[in-house]
Amino acid sequence: MSDPLSIAASVTGIVSLSAAVFQQVTKFAKEAKNAEKNVKELASQTRNLSGVLQNLALLASSLEDQDSATTFRAHHLYACSNTLYKVEERLKKANDDFHSGSKAKAVLRSLKWPFSADETKSLSAEMATHRSTLELALSAETLDKLLQSLASQDEIKAGLGLLSCKVDRINEIQSRVEMDDRRRKVVNFFLKVNPQPNFQTSMRLRQPLTGLWLTESNQTYQKWRDIPSSSLWLSGIPGAGKTVLCGVVIDDVLQMSNESTAVAFYFCDYKNHDSQQLVNILGAIAVQLSQQNEEAFSLLEDQFTLLNPSGGLPKEPEAKMLMDLISRLSSLYEKVFLVVDGVDECGAGMGEVAAELRQLSEGCRPLSLAIFSRDEQEINEEVSENFAHIEIAAHSKDIDLYVCAEMGKRRQLKKMRLQSPDLAEEIREKLVNGAQGISMA
C-alpha cells in the first residue's frame, strides 16, 4: 500500500474535481439548448468554490508539518464532494446520451441541460453554502483547528477535550479500571494478541474522507449501528480496503463509547499465527470488555483465580469458558459493539471462528457484531442467514478522489503536463475504472 492521503492531498483531490465540474458546467452553459442564466450562476458558484478549495489546500499543506492527535473526519469536505459529484454524474449522463445515437441523427438532437430551474438554483445554493463553510476554515492557525472546522458540529462537540483522539479515547476507556501489578498480570494472562497496533495502522492508512460513504450514507450500516443486537457482515475481494474500512467502523463506534456502551475489536492476521487462534480472539475481546467497567474486571479476575489456583498448576483458558465469560461481561452493559476483521485469514479455522462469533451475537443480547472478511463458503454458511450484508469494493468516489489528488500533486510538481482538459478527464476515467474495486490508498 502507498502512504495515505493527507488532508492537503484530500483537498487537492476535490480542487481537481471542482475544476472538472466547472469545465463541464461551462461547456453546457455555452452549448446546451435550454441553459439559461441559472446555469451561468452555477458555473460562477462552482468557480468560486474551487478558488476557496485551492486556498484551503495551500493552508493545509502549510500546517501539515505540525503534529496532530485528532482524527476528526472531514464531513464538510465530504458534503462538498457529494454536491460536485451530483452535478458531474448528471452532466456526464446527459453528454453520453447526446453522443450515443447515430451520426445521421445528430443534427436532429441537441445537448440539453439535465437539471430543472429549481434544481439548478438549489445546486447553486449548495455550492455557496459549501464555500461559506470552507471560508471559515481558512482562519485556522493550527492543524487541529483546521480539522475541527472541517468536521460536523456533532463531532466537534463530541471531541471537546480531544476525546476524539483515538489513542486518548482508548486510554479513557481503560482508565475506568484502576490498574496495579496484579491486574496487569490478569490482563497479560488473557491478552495473548493485542489488537491496538493493527487499529493504529488501519487509522494511519486512511485518508480523511475514506469510509464516510459507509458511516454517513449507508442505511444498512446505520441500522446496524443504531439498532441493538444487530449483526453485520462486510465482505470483499482482497485489496478492496476491508482492513482500513474496519478501522473506520471501529473509529465510528468508539465515538459512542461510554460507561453503558462498550466497544471491543480484533484483527485476525494471516502473517501472525497466534492472531488466528479462537482462544486468543476471545481472550482479547474479554479483556477489552473487562477494562471498561469495574464489575466487569472483577469477573475477569475471578476467572483468572479459577485458572491459577494457589495450591495447583495453572490452566490455560478454553474457548467455551471464554464464550461464557464474554456473555456475562456483555450483560453488564446496555450496548456492546464488537468489530472483527479478517475472519478469512484464520485459515482452516475460519469456519469455527465465524461460528463462534455468530453464537456470541445470538447469545449476548446487548451485543452488536460486525465482521469483515472475504466471501468464503465456510463463513458464508455461518452468517448469511441472520447477518445483514454489505459487499465492499473500493468505493469509486474514494478511488476517484485519490486519482484527482495524485494528478493534482503531479501537476503542481511539474511531473504531469496536460494541456487538454479532455485528455486529463480521459486519464482520470481510465484509472478509476481500471481499479476494478481494488483500493489504491
Convert the pLDDT of each residue in 114-169 to its tens digit.
999 899 999 999 999 999 999 999 998 888 888 888 876 555 444 444 334 444 44
Is it the case that residue 98 has pLDDT exceeding 90? no
CA-to-CA distance for 121 and 181, rounded, in angstroms? Answer: 65
Q: Which residue has the higher pLDDT, 384 or 154?
A: 384
- The pLDDT tens digits of the residues spanning 272-287 come to 999 999 999 999 999 9
Per-residue model confidence (pLDDT) at position 255: 87
Instruction: Report, in this order, helix, strand and coil percent for the chain, each rounded to 5.
Output: 65, 5, 30
CA atoms within 13 A on the CB side of 438: 8
Three-class SS state of 409 = helix
Confidence grade of residue 420 (pLDDT, cut at 50, 70, 90): low
Question: What is the dihedral sign for C-alpha 147, 195, 285, 239?
Answer: positive
Band (pLDDT 50/70/90 cuts) for residue 409 is: low
Predicted local confidence at residue 427, as pLDDT: 72
pLDDT of residue 304: 97
pLDDT at 187: 96
Whether pLDDT at 107 is above 60: no
Higher pLDDT, 166 or 315: 315
User: How large a percentage of the chain has pLDDT more than 70?
Assistant: 81
- Which H, E and C letters describe 365-390, residue by residue? CCEEEEEEECCCHHHHHHHCCCCEEE
pTM of the entire structure?
0.80
Condensed to tens digits (0 to 9), the pLDDT of residues 242-267 reads 999 999 999 999 989 999 999 999 99
pLDDT band at 238, cuts 50/70/90?
Answer: confident
Alpha-carbon span 407 to 417, nearest angstrom: 10
pLDDT band at 423 (very low <50, low <70, confident <90, very high): low
Alpha-carbon distances of 3 from 6, 101, 201, 204, 206, rounded to whole Å: 9, 44, 11, 8, 9
* CA distance linking residue 422 with residue 72, whole number of Å: 35
Choose the weakest-confidence range: 244-248, 321-325, 337-341, 415-419: 415-419
Please count the helices (runs of H) and the strands (runs of E) in the chain: 19, 5
Give the CA radius of gyration of the chain.
25
239 torsion bin: left (phi>0), alpha (psi -120 to 50), beta (else):
left
Span 67-95, average pLDDT: 83
Contact call for residues 49 and 131 (beta carbons, < 8 A): yes
Tell me what the pLDDT averaged over the chain comes to.
84
Whole-number pLDDT of residue 160:
43
Question: Higher model confidence: residue 171 or residue 58?
Answer: 58
pLDDT band at 321 (very low <50, low <70, confident <90, very high): very high
For residue 324, report the phi and psi dihedrals to the nearest 5 degrees: -65, -40
pLDDT at 154: 56
pLDDT value for 43: 93
Q: How far apart are CA 399 and CA 405, in angstroms?
A: 10
| pLDDT tens-digit series, residues 5-51 | 578 888 888 998 999 999 999 988 887 776 778 888 999 999 999 99
Indicate the helix (H) or strand (E) that contains 337.
Answer: strand 335-341
What is the fold of 165-392?
A: Rossmann fold (3.40.50)
- Quote the CA–CA distance of 232 and 281 in Å, as a whole number: 18
How many other C-beta atoms lie within 10 A of the C-beta of residue 270? 12
> Is it the case that residue 173 has pLDDT exceeding 60?
no
Query: Does residue 312 surpass a pLDDT of 60?
Result: yes
**Is the pLDDT score of 175 beyond 70?**
no
Query: What average pLDDT does the segment 422-436 reach?
Result: 66
293: CB partners within 8 A, 6+ apart: 176, 177, 259, 262, 332, 333
**Could you state, in order of their start, the residue ranges of all structural domains in the chain?**
7-156+396-434, 165-392
